[in-house]
Every structure is written in structure tokens, then in C-alpha cells.
Amino acid sequence: MAVNLDHVPILRAMDPQDMLEWVERFPEQVADAWRRADAMELPDALRGKRHIVVAGMGGSAIGGDLLAAYLAPRARVPVTVVRYYELPAWVDSNTLVIASSYSGNTEETLSAFEDALSRKAGVIALTTGGKLARLALDADVPIVSFPGGGQPRAALGYSFILLLGIAQALGYVTVSGEERGELAHVLDELNAAYASDVPEEENLAKQYARLLYGRIPYVMGAAVLAPVARRWKTQFNENSKQWSAFDEMPELDHNTVMGTRAPKDLAEDVMLVSLESPTDHPRVRLRWKITADIFRKAGLAQLRIEAPGDFPLTQMLGLVHLGDFISVYLAFLNGQDPSDIDNINYLKAELERSND
């Protein structure tokens, strides 16, 4: 299907639930999330926990991955993301469990929430409402709420920044005003550069979508950009309706580099996308260069993208924003509605029917 990415009315017609508009509102969403985070008041009893668990699924869990990566070099408390019905055996009263569910009705997260209460853990509910909010209210658990209305994956500005706000409010980390200022500035610049009314010849997001069209994106990142690579993969799945995979550097140098030889005809169908940062470990920077050479010799197409900004938050969310734009433009090239989740809805309906 030949799609002109510069014909905005056609794009809007292919996007009845306005996923592109949600992407374009990302900087605004991040700014509102910071305002909510700054006004946050949480019980002192939640301070000083030895471990943080973020329980969530899909778009509500990726914020936990970003939090874990961001806090790893900055906080003395580890963060574990749980995408399951039950919590690890070590969760106890010294653990802070944040149950993150956009709808408030995610069955795995509801189960983990009740498990956390039974373990006497410190618990916070992060949601727009639903059953999670009702259970939290009944259990006298703090609720961090935010506006709904779209798809969970379109609310990452809230689901990540509010998690970071919780960590800051409880004294686990401090995000400087300089870092927040750079993030806001760069997101506004990127939003203007990738917007739907910017022609493809000047729009990197549209150009990258065109390069990826007809290929399987294999997205790679290191340190704080590893969960960003995961985010790109899931956005290609849900928005673009196509296969994708993600990997992490330097681990991929210990296995993935050997996986390029079979099946032999796959090389022409794959596009390797490396999300690189000028602040990557020096050995990782060297690894990117050598690994790119290995992949080039294997005949694999590659797209190397450098993160914007000087601070980790800017690099993470700047590339998240780019990936979201690319995935929506790629959906249009694929002839797909980026908001449609018919397979997921079918699965949920079948699960619900099994409860009758």
C-alpha cells in the first residue's frame, strides 16, 4: 500500500482514535506528570524500604523498566519489575510495591496488588481508576492518579514520570532542575521536528519509518537505553502491527553476534537499530563500532541512532519519543490503524469468558 506520509488528512483518516495526536502530546503529558509529582504527598511509613517492586503489564510496566535503569547508578535501592500474578518470595514489609495499571483492571496487576497486601509490604496504586483504585481505597493504600482516555502505551509520560516522582518524594533520588529543564526543551524541539506536518524530506521519524518498512526491526540499547529498545519493540508490535525484537548491549556481543548465519535468507528482512549514547561506557562505545562491523559483514542493514541531550532522562525519553513517532508512521505505511488491539481484546474476552 503506497502511503504519502506528508498527506496529513489521509494519515488522520487512518488514525480514527488519534494515536498520532497522543504521540504529539507527549511533551505536554510529561510536563503535567511533573506537576502532579511535585504536588505528591506520601506517608512517611513508605520511606526507607530496601527494595522497590513495580508490578504491571504492557504499557504500564515499561515505566518500571525505565525507572529501574535510571535509578540503578543513582539510588541504593534496587528496582524489580514484576510482570506476573505473584510476587517474588523475598517481598515483605521492607519492600515498596507500586501496582501500576492504566485501566486499573489488569488481572495480573490486581493479583500482585493483593499479594503485596498479604505480605504486609508498603503499597501504592498508580492508575486512572478501575478496580485497582477501589481496592486501594478499601485498603487505605495511597493512590497516585492521572488522566485516562487513550491507550495505556500512550500514557508513558505519566507511568514513568509519576514513578520517578514517587521515588523522589520518598527520598530515593533527586532529579535536578537542570535535567528536567533540558528534558522539556529537547522534547519540545523533537516534537516540532517529527510532527505530521513536517515533510518527509525534513522529518527523520518519517525517513526512519520508510527505511524500516518491509523489515523486522531488531532494536538494541545499553544501560538506560536498554529499556528504551524494549519500548521500541513493543511499539512496533502494538502500533505498527509487525514483528520486532530487542536486545541489550554488551550481552548481545556474547551470543547475538553468532546468530546471523541461519536462516540465510533472513538477512534481507531484518533492520538492526542501535540506540547509542555519548555517555555509554567507553568499552560499550567501542563494542558498538566493532559489532556494527560484524553485522555489516553478515550483510545486515543497520540504523545507528545517537540519543539527544546530555542527561539520562533526555536521552531516554527523547528516544522514546522518536520511537513512538516512527511506530505510528510505520503503521500507516503498513496500512494499519495504530490504535487497534483486536488480538489483545480477543484474548481478554476469552479470559473473562473462562471466569463465567
Residue 238 falls in the annotated catalytic set? yes
- Give Cα separations from 229 to 146, 225, 272, 342 (angstroms): 25, 6, 11, 24
**Can you tell me which residue has the cell 487497534?**
340
What DSSP element (H or E) covers 232?
A: helix 226-238
What DSSP element (H or E) covers 233?
A: helix 226-238
**Can you tell me which residue has the cell 548465519?**
261
The single-letter DSSP state of residue 290 is H
| Burial of 290 from C-beta contacts in 10 A (0-12 / 13-18 / 19+) | exposed
Residue 81: other Cβ atoms inside 10 A: 22
What is the DSSP annotation of 35-99?
HHHHT----GGGTT-SEEEEE--GGGTHHHHHHHHHHTTT-SS-EEEE-SSS--TT-STTEEEEE
Residue 254 falls in the annotated catalytic set? yes
Residue 126 β-bridge partners: 100, 144
Which residues fall within 8 angstroms of residue 283, CB to CB, at 6 or more apart?
A: 250
CB 227 within 8 A of CB 283: no
Choice among 233, 238, 241, 276 that is catalytic: 238
As a whole number of angstroms, the distance between CA 248 and CA 227 comes to 9
> What is the b/e burial string over 220-248, where b = at least 16 CB atoms within 10 angstroms of the residue's CB?
bbbbbbbbbbbbbbbbbbbbbbbebbbbb
- The packing angle between helices 130-138 and 107-118, to 10°, is 10
| Burial of 6 from C-beta contacts in 10 A (0-12 / 13-18 / 19+) | middle
Choice among 201, 254, 264, 297 that is catalytic: 254
The set of catalytic residues is: 238, 254, 348
